[in-house]
Amino acid sequence: MSILMEKEISIDKIITINYEQFKALEDPIRGKIVQMLYKKNLNVVQIHRRLKKFGFKKAVTTIRHHVEILKNSGLIEIVKIEELQGATTKYYGSSIKLLDFTLPLDFDKNYSKIIAKTSLKLGKVVRYKQSEVDKYLEENTFNHTGETKQ
Rounded to 10 degrees, what is the CA torsion of 16, 27, 113, 120? Answer: 50
Residue 36 inside a domain? The answer is yes
146: left (phi over 0), alpha (psi -120 to 50) or beta: left
Strand partners, 77: 93
Higher-pLDDT residue of 37, 135: 37
Same domain, 107 and 74: no
Residue at which a domain ends, from 93, 118, 142: 93
Same domain, 110 and 89: no
Domain of residue 132: give its range.
103-150
CB atoms within 10 A of CB 141: 9
Q: What is the rounded radius of gyration, in angstroms, for the C-alpha atoms of the chain? A: 24
Same domain, 57 and 89: yes
Residue 85 inside a domain? The answer is yes
pLDDT tens digits, residue range 74-125?
999 999 999 888 888 999 999 888 776 666 777 777 777 887 888 888 888 8
Q: Examine the pLDDT at 144 and tell me if it is beyond 70.
A: no
Same domain, 34 and 87: yes
Task: Please tell me the distance from the alpha carbon of residue 37 to that of residue 77, in angstroms, as a whole number.
Answer: 9
Are 77 and 71 within 8 A, CB to CB? yes
pTM of the predicted model, to two decimals?
0.57
Same domain, 33 and 58: yes
